[in-house]
Amino acid sequence: MMRQMRLHLFLVVMAPWAIAQVPSDIQAFRQEPHGDRSALVKGVVDGNGIRSIYYNTSQLARWPDGMAIEWPKGSGHNYFESALPVVGVRFRLPDSTTVTAIEGSALQGGWDRFFTTRYRSGFEAVPGYTGGARPTRIATSVNRDTWPPSWNGTWRWMDGVDTGHADFETFSVTDDAHCPDLGAPKGSYQPIVSDTTRFGLGLRMETRGLQWGRDSLAQDILFFVYDVVNLSDFDYDSAAIGLLAIPGVGSFQMSTPRQALSLSRSEDMIIASSPGGVGWPDNWKTHLVGLVVLETPAKAASDTVTAGIGSFAMHAKMDTSIAGFRLGNDSSLWHAMTSGIGDTVRADSAVSFVVASEPFALPKWSRRRFAVAYVLAIDRARLSRVAARAHQIAAAGYRFKSTASGVADDQQAGIPRSASLSQNYPNPFNPTTTIQYTTPSRLLVNLRVYNTLGQQIVVLQNGEQDAGFHQVRFDARALPSGLYFYRMQAGSYIETKKLLLVK
C-alpha cells in the first residue's frame, strides 16, 4: 500500500519590528536603566564669559536657585529665565487612533504644573552618566570626579574625536520611559514591544553643552547640541524638535514693556532685549541676547538646502506663575511647533516663545540633531559677529579653528575680506554634510553639486546674498556612494571642491 504524502505549507507573517535586526548601539541603549527623577542633578556651566545653571534633564533653569544665562559671569545680570528642549510626534496607535504627543522635561513653575496633578515629566535623567555612588553634580569635562566609572577616565568628546574640542563640556542623557499614556489606556502602546515596563514614545535625548574661552567672540557663546534617538520599534512619520524658552532680560518694575523679541531670519536668530534698557533688580543697564538655531533635522530626503528655523511662535503677557506655552497642552504646543513663522516682532510685559524645526520623519532606531547657541553682546553689530562665529564653529563640527578659512579678526569678523568656499564637513559623509562659504559684499551666489560625469545633481543656492558667513546642508540620502563635486560662483570668484559620499 502506498501512503499518501501531504505537504502542509505554513505561512508565518511577522511584524516588521520582529524581522529587522536591532543595531548594537540601540540595543545597548535599551538595556540601560530607565530615566528616573531620583537621578536629577544640577551644576554650573561657566567655561567662558557666560555662567549658567544646568540640570541633567536638559533644562536651563533660573528658578529656584540660579540664573539660566548670567552675563558677564559674576555680574548677577540674568538674560534668560529658563529654556528646555521639546520633541513632538504625531502618529497612529495600533487601534488607528491618531495621537499628538509632546515630550519635555520641566522643573520651573508653570511648565511642570501639569505633571503635579496627573503626569510625570516626559524626559527624565538616565542614571549612570555622572560620577560617584550618589551623584550630586552634572558631568563636566573639567572635573574627572563627575565622570561615570564606565568611561574609564576618558571624556566623551563631541562625536568621539579628541581634537579641537571645547574648553568646557557637559554631557547628560534623558529618556521618556515614564512619560504619559499618550491619550490611550495605559499599556496599550509599548514603544519597545519586548519591554513591558517602558512607556512614552521610546525616545532618548543626549545633550551636550559646549563653551570656548580662547576667542574674543566665542567667549560670549554657549552651545547646546541635542541628539534625539528613536529607540522604539516604530517609525514616526511626522516629528518636530525645538525649544520652549522665557527670556529674562528686562525689569519687572517697568510700566512699559519690559521685554522685546524679534526674529532675524537671515541669521536664524531670536533676539531678546529690554525696550527700556533697564534690568531687574538694581536697574542695571541691559544689552542683547540671541538664540541662534544652528542645526535642525532635514525636512525630507530631497531637502538639500538650509537647516534653519521651521516654526516660531510667541506668547505675550505671561502670568508670573505659568508659561504661555505649557507642557501637557500637546495640541497647542504641536500647533506652535509646526505652524510656520508667525509674528517676528513683539514687545510686552513678558514674552515666552517656541522655536522649532520643520516637521521631519523619525524612523525607528534613527538619530536626529537640533543645536542652538546663546550669544550675547553689547550692541546689534557685535551680536551679528558673535552669531556668525557660532555658525562657523558649528559648521566645523563643533571644533574650534582660529585660522579657519574666511574667519577674520575681531574687528572684521562680521564682514569677510574675500569670497571663499570651505571644504564640506564631515567629509567623507553619510548622508548629510555642511558646506560653508563667505561673501565680502552683496553678490549673486550660485552653488551647485555635480557628479563625475558633469551632470548637475542639485542647486544649493542661486540668488543674491549679503556680505557674511553662509552655510547650506547637502542631503545625499537619495544618491549612490561615490565622488561628487560642488562649485561656487560669487561675482568673479569661482571655486570647485570634491566631496565623498560613503554609505
Residue 273's φ and ψ, nearest 5 degrees, are -150, 170
Both 103 and 185 in one domain: the answer is yes
Give the predicted TM-score (pTM) of the model. Answer: 0.75
Q: Is residue 15 part of a domain?
A: no
CA-CA distance, 154 to 430, in Å (whole number)? 27
Shared domain for 267 and 296, answered yes or no, is yes
**pLDDT for residue 14:** 41
Alpha carbons 343 and 263: distance in angstroms, whole number: 9
Residues of the domain holding 68:
22-404
Per the DSSP assignment, residues forming a β-bridge with 335 are: none
- Clarify whether residues 27 and 172 are in a common domain: yes
- List C-alpha distances in Å: 211 to 50, 72, 162, 324: 9, 14, 15, 30
Residue corresponding to grid cell 538595556: 31
pLDDT (0 to 100) of residue 269: 93
Boundary residue ending a domain (404, 426, 456): 404
In a domain, 410, yes or no: no
φ and ψ of 292, to 5 deg = -100, 125
**What string of DSSP letters covers 472-494?**
EEEE-TTS-SEEEEEEEEETTEE
Distance CA 481, CA 479 (A): 7
**13 in a domain, yes or no?**
no
For residue 468, is it left (φ>0), alpha (ψ between -120 and 50) or beta? left
| Total number of domains constituting the chain | 2
Query: Is 2 part of a structural domain of the chain?
Result: no
Query: Side by side, which strands form the sheet with 482-490?
Result: 456-465, 443-450, 482-490, 493-501
| Predicted pLDDT of residue 255 | 53
Which stretch of DSSP H or E encloses residue 290? strand 288-295
pLDDT, residue 260, reads: 85
The per-residue pLDDT for 132 is 65
pLDDT for res 11 = 39
Could you report the average pLDDT of every consecutive run of 10 residues in the chain (503 residues)?
Answer: 38 47 92 89 89 88 69 85 88 79 65 40 85 77 88 78 76 86 59 88 94 81 95 93 85 62 88 81 83 78 52 67 54 85 80 88 93 92 88 81 41 60 83 84 93 94 83 89 95 93 90
Q: What are phi and psi of 196, to 5 degrees?
A: -80, -5
Determine the residue type at 139: A
CB neighbour class for 197 (10 Å; exposed up to 12, middle 13-18, buried from 19):
exposed
161: in domain: yes
Give the count of beta carbons closer than 10 Å to the beta carbon of residue 96.
Answer: 6
Cβ(474)–Cβ(404) below 8 Å: no
Same domain for 316 and 229? Answer: yes
Query: What integer pLDDT is reported at residue 373 of this predicted model?
Result: 96
Q: Same domain, yes or no, for 374 and 499?
A: no
Q: Is residue 92 part of a domain?
A: yes
Q: What is the pLDDT of residue 454?
A: 93
**CA–CA distance, 349 with 365 (Å, rounded to integer):** 43
| pLDDT at res. 307 | 52
pLDDT the model gives residue 74: 82
Domain assignment present for residue 233? The answer is: yes
315 and 452: one domain?
no
337/443 same-domain check: no
Buried/exposed 105-126: b ≥16 CB within 10 Å, e otherwise = bbbbbbbbbbbeeeebbbbbbb
Q: Shortest CA distance to 172 belongs to which of 127, 221, 230, 105?
A: 127
Within a domain: residue 377?
A: yes
397 and 460, same domain (yes or no): no
Are both 298 and 433 inside the same structural domain? no
CATH number of domain containing 465: 2.60.40.1930
The residue out of 351, 371, 404 marking a domain boundary is: 404
